[in-house]
Structure 1
Amino acid sequence: MIIRLISTAQTGFFYTTKRTRQGPKLSAVKYDPVVGQRVLFVESKKTKKS
């Protein structure tokens, strides 16, 4: 399943990644280039696989 990780800094920056369908909601600390530092990214919305 393809998911979108959205920055909690509310910059609009996001990453897309894959996770298993049965897995827990994903969150990760990653680099946000808009603010120039590492922030928490949380899973928000599932995208359709094209």
Structure 2
Amino acid sequence: MHAAIDALERQEFLRGLNGDYQRLRNNPELWEQYVAERREWDAPA
């Protein structure tokens, strides 16, 4: 039973994450901000 609940929670989490990511991709200005921030995090110190 716990495995089924965990699987459902994971599925719902990933569905929400995918939706958030898609909304970000659909907004060019926000997407560029995201990419710029990701570059900052990935840059060596």
What band does the TM-score fall into relative to the shorter chain? under 0.3
- What's the TM-score once normalised by structure 2's chain length? 0.19
Higher helix share: 2
Output the TM-score relative to the length of structure 1.
Answer: 0.18
Q: Point out the structure with max Rg over C-alpha.
A: 2
- Please state which structure has a larger fraction of its residues in strand: 1
